Amino acid sequence: MSFPIFVEAVNGQFEASLIGAPNVRVVKPNRAQAIAGLKAEIQQRVALGELLSLEIDAVSVSDLAGKYSSDPTLRQISDEAYQLRDAERN
């Protein structure tokens, strides 16, 4: 299993953090220790919990087509907009 991590020098030490989970981080005196510490932290979290992939349906503009077709408020707003447009043309 692979996880993207970010390692940076901070105040003379090294901080390793899990990308996307800022609360999963370790600060150690050198880079190798920070990476090893983060690896141990991730392994512990995976052992205590359950690692899953979650699929979420994407919402696009085309998903909204017709969604508000029976909304009387939208019809009123549209009618007013058309009246204003027609008045401006004259």
Whether 27 and 17 have beta carbons less than 8 Å apart is answered as: no
Question: Tell me, what's the pLDDT at 26?
Answer: 98
Cα–Cα nearest to 38, from 23, 16, 22: 16
Specify the pLDDT at position 85: 93
Q: What is the 3-state secondary structure (H, E, C) of 49-62?
A: CCCCCCCCCCCCHH
Q: Coil, strand or helix: which one is 90?
A: coil
Per-residue pLDDT tens digits of the chain, which is 90 residues long? 899 999 999 999 999 999 999 899 999 999 999 999 999 999 999 899 877 788 888 778 777 788 777 888 888 888 899 999 999 987
Task: Give the pLDDT confidence score for residue 35 in this predicted structure.
Answer: 98
* pTM of the shown model: 0.58
Instruction: Return the closest-CA partner of residue 22 out of 43, 6, 44.
Output: 6
